[in-house]
Amino acid sequence: MVQIVLQPTNSLKEWTLVEYQGELNSRLGNGFCGNKIGDLHFNSKGDPIMIIGHHILYGKVKKLEKPFAVLVKNKDAEMDQREYLIKAVITNKLIFSLRPKPIIIHVPKKV
């Protein structure tokens, strides 16, 4: 039987999961790793609003029934023992289930 040890780190953080309906595509074709996707804002009621390019998405905050733990393998652990560090806990998620709406700016007809 393999024993797995979980150790909380000193700087345990709380993260939030973001859930989109549909698919996000990168114009550059190299994915989103390390790149900015959009701007996240919250209205006065606490509902999330995401702006991606020329589109706006309206969402809701939902508490997860069971929280997730974000684990990182401990490289300093002994060879015969598998040890993981708990990096963060995810307790909430932002759900963007509606289709994005285009942001249209009024442009005067006379220039």
Kindly state the percentage of the chain with pLDDT values over 70: 92
CB atoms within 10 A of CB 80: 7
Cα atoms found within 13 Å of the Cα of residue 26, Cβ hemisphere only: 10
| Cα–Cα distance for residue pair 109/98, rounded to 1 Å | 32
Q: In what order do the strands lie in the sheet with 60-73?
A: 4-20, 82-96, 60-73
pLDDT at 21 over 70: yes
Amino acid identity of residue 106, one-letter, is H
Look up the pTM and report it: 0.74
Give all domains of the chain, ordered by start, each with its CATH number. Answer: 4-24+38-101 (2.60.40)
